[in-house]
Structure 1
Amino acid sequence: MRLVHVVTLVSEDGAYGGPTSVATGQLEECAARGHEVTLLSLWRGRSRAPARIGSVPLRTRPARALLPGRFTGIMHPMLVRDMWRCMGRADVVHIHAGRDLVSLTALAVAALRGKRFFTQTHGMVEPRHRLVARIFDRLYVPLLRRARGCLVLTERERRAVSEVVGPQCPPLLTLPNGVRPERNAAVERRRHAPEVLFMARLHPRKRPEAFVEMAALVHRKLPGVRFTLHGPDEGSLPAVRQLIAEHRLTDVVSYGGALSYAEALRAYANAAVYVLPSVDEPFPMTVIEALAAGAPVVCTDTCGMADELARRGAAIVTDGSPPTMADAVCELLTDENKRDGVVKAGKRAVEEAFSIHAVTDRLEELYRNL
């Protein structure tokens, strides 16, 4: 099959996060199975866009800010032509759709081309009541209704998309995110490196400040441990630096900026613990990637996969408060049996529930039925 996926942004710093990682992972596995694949996107970076991501051919145009908003208003006029040409040859179109100009354009081109297409919303389509969102939805929602199916991660996302799209909503089909366990497992791991890792956008919903507060509590009990935050700044870095200074942790907590995907895999592999303090995170790819790399995970009970991870003993699930996260980190750092059990359960969860192989089996079935 000829498969065309559209995602809003590919960038050097991984700013668009999960949707880009999911799209490339799906297409890499599809390419390995003999399908002809293309990823369409905008590009942001200091260097020229790569021609491929792994085995996936990449067609990009430089991101230009046509309207306000970090991702909502970016676009490039020539990307419309690229979409028109690539979709015309495609057997299946798969749009990783947020509320932004790239997604809106991709939906419109697919409809004008008469293509049957899937959407995947990655938790990005939720009820919004501001005037700008309501105006945008007058164009956006009718196009979403034309999809042959909308892929969702969780029951919470199912309800949100259903509320936005209304009674004419296309079938809502559950599809988890997945990683390639064998690739991540191949990263050399320094098992006892005393580093606790944060890997996410520095944005209020990701709660990097809570990570610093947790670090201060752990440091009192285990002064030899170090803490590192990685990810693009989206407004929270000044508050993070202020907290580091207030707690006198400048030699203990550091900010290492954004990482490429390959650099992120090495960071997971070298981390003693991975902590994601986010709230209402639908299905964080960073958690799955950390599990696959063998890093024990601490997350919050509002994470979309928290129940599954807790049931399997594959992570320590907390209420998200700095004291409970600190207790979880200290337990993993001081109890080797606990740590080994969580790591083994995490890898088993990836193989059984979050493997890209199982995800692509389901995708191929959907594509063929389309």
Structure 2
Amino acid sequence: MRLLAISWQPLSPVHSGYRQRVVELYGELAKRMEVLVIVPGDSGGAPFARDVQTPSSWRGSLPKGRLWETFSPGFREEAAKIAREWKPDRVLAEGLWAVSAAKSAAQATGVPLGITVQNIEYLSARGIYPPPIPSALRVYERRVYRRADWLVAITEEERETLHEVLGGKCPPILVVPNGTTTPSSPPEKIRVEQIRKSWGIRPEEEVVLFLGNMNYPPNLKGLAWFSKEVYPLLPKEASGVRWIAVGEPIPSEPVHPFEFVGFMGDLDAACAAADVAISPIRHGSGTSIKVLDLLGRGLPIVATPESIRGLAGTENAGVRVGGTPNEFAHRLLELLKNEGERERQGVL
């Protein structure tokens, strides 16, 4: 079978959960079947992907220009052209924002159209954007998803949510969960030391790590919540801690106490350079690939319940959960004060 997929983001650099899922999933699928992913911009040299450069007058004037680019006539036409040449058996939109171009490709070839629901967008928008944006997204998602031939959900819980939202017009839903790769061996000690040095970490200091795309509003909202609600609850003993946030772009406004270091390609060494990780996300949907990345590298984590949504068993696999500011601060202090407990939790 030939599967043609449409991404709404470039695949390089791999600095978001969306990009990571597409790169890793299609890298594996390409070993089993013929796949081609159409990408708006840099594909990072992925052998299963094809770059499509369609400069759009929209991009400079609207936020999230890559999102709008996939709606542009030029991108849709190029997707349809590639589909006619490649002759896929199915077309899959990787996310709601790729549907416009994927629909053009499916119609050009007369094949079924599927949609991966990376996030249920109206749920992600709640608490982030003011009304009526969440309700408008809900209406739009219902209309788009009902017209698909099949859907791909990330979790069983989200499959049930989609069934409820779409009602009797819900197409068949396949669940393909997020995953992560694990290092085959620990990073070299000298590389870990280099990273700590680049962060300006003294030998006696502990490092708390946050990992995430800073363009994703729930990430910044989560950091702001930690800054305002959790950090003031930490005692003076936490003054010997450095709070490192890995991800790009670096926010224009500071978020105390975090030090933003930008994108890091060597995730294994970055995790090894830290003592504890946090995931203070309180909004959004889907599952956090970054939490899976941290778990896969043996780093103990303190997370909100929302951060581990859809990740069964994580409380027994290296994650301590804190739903309130007091709980979160307490869980974090338990790890910061106890190196033995950190080591125990990190290898569970």
Q: Give the alignment's TM-score, normalised by structure 2.
A: 0.76
Moved more, 20-29 or 210-219: 210-219
Determine helix, strand or coil for the equivalent of 1:222: helix
The answer on whether the counterparts of 1:197 and 1:228 sit within 8 Å (CA) in structure 2 is yes
Shift of 1:269: 3.1
Shift of 1:142: 5.1
Cα distance in 1 between the residues matched to 2:115 and 2:295: 27
Shift of 1:181: 2.2
Question: In the alignment, what sits opposite 1:59?
Answer: 51
Q: For residues 94-120 of structure 1, what are the alpha-carbon distances to aligned partners after superposition, in whole Å with 9 as ceiling and x for unaligned?
A: 22122x3x3222134314422124321
Shift of 1:177: 0.3
Cα distance in 1 between the residues matched to 2:273 and 2:55: 33
Does structure 1 residue 332 correspond to structure 2 residue 335? yes
Question: In the alignment, what sits opposite 1:341?
Answer: 344
Question: In the alignment, what sits opposite 2:95?
Answer: 97
Does structure 1 residue 227 correspond to structure 2 residue 223? no
Q: For residues 154 and 301 of structure 1, do their structure 2 counterparts lie closer, same or farther at Cα, with a shift above 3 Å needed?
A: same
**Equivalent residues, number:** 318
Question: In the alignment, what sits opposite 1:368?
Answer: none
Moved more, 286-295 or 335-344: 335-344
Determine helix, strand or coil for the equivalent of 1:228: strand
Question: In the alignment, what sits opposite 1:361?
Answer: none
Question: In the alignment, what sits opposite 2:19?
Answer: 20
The answer on whether the counterparts of 1:4 and 1:90 sit within 8 Å (CA) in structure 2 is yes
Q: Which residue identity is paired with 1:209?
A: A
Q: For residues 188-245 of structure 1, what are the alpha-carbon distances to aligned partners after superposition, in whole Å with 9 as ceiling and x for unaligned?
A: 47599721111224455221123335455547223322111233359x652xx2x53x
Does structure 1 residue 266 correspond to structure 2 residue 258? no
Q: For residues 336 and 35 of structure 1, do their structure 2 counterparts lie closer, same or farther at Cα, with a shift above 3 Å needed?
A: same
Question: In the alignment, what sits opposite 1:354?
Answer: none
Q: Which residue identity is paired with 2:236?
A: R
Question: In the alignment, what sits opposite 1:83?
Answer: 79
- Structure 1 segment 1-370 matched on structure 2, within 5 A: 1-10=1-10, 17-31=16-30, 33-43=31-41, 49-50=42-43, 52-53=45-46, 55-61=47-53, 64=56, 65=58, 68-70=62-64, 72-75=67-70, 76-88=72-84, 89-98=87-96, 100=97, 102-126=98-122, 130=132, 134=136, 141=142, 143-182=144-183, 187-188=187-188, 190=192, 194-202=206-214, 204-206=217-219, 207-213=222-228, 214-215=230-231, 217-218=233-234, 220-232=236-248, 237-238=252-253, 241=254, 244=256, 253-257=258-262, 259=263, 262-281=265-284, 282-303=286-307, 304-305=309-310, 307-310=312-315, 312-321=316-325, 323-345=326-348
Cα distance in 1 between the residues matched to 2:167 and 2:334: 46
Shift of 1:125: 3.8
Shift of 1:319: 0.5
Cα distance in 1 between the residues matched to 2:168 and 2:225: 40
Cα distance in 2 between the residues matched to 1:135 and 1:50: 28
Determine helix, strand or coil for the equivalent of 1:181: coil
Shift of 1:146: 4.3
The answer on whether the counterparts of 1:125 and 1:160 sit within 8 Å (CA) in structure 2 is no
The answer on whether the counterparts of 1:13 and 1:231 sit within 8 Å (CA) in structure 2 is no
The answer on whether the counterparts of 2:183 and 2:268 sit within 8 Å (CA) in structure 1 is no
**Aligned Cα root-mean-square deviation (Å):** 3.5
Q: For residues 25 and 12 of structure 1, do their structure 2 counterparts lie closer, same or farther at Cα, with a shift above 3 Å needed?
A: closer
Question: In the alignment, what sits opposite 2:196?
Answer: none
Larger RCO (CA within 8 A; separation ≥ 6): 1
Q: For residues 288 and 131 of structure 1, do their structure 2 counterparts lie closer, same or farther at Cα, with a shift above 3 Å needed?
A: closer
Shift of 1:289: 0.9
Question: In the alignment, what sits opposite 1:367?
Answer: none
Q: Which residue identity is paired with 1:161?
A: L
Q: Give the alignment's TM-score, normalised by structure 1.
A: 0.72
Shift of 1:277: 0.5
Please list every run of 5 or more consecutive structure 1 residues that lacks an aligned counterpart in the other structure.
Answer: 44-48, 346-370
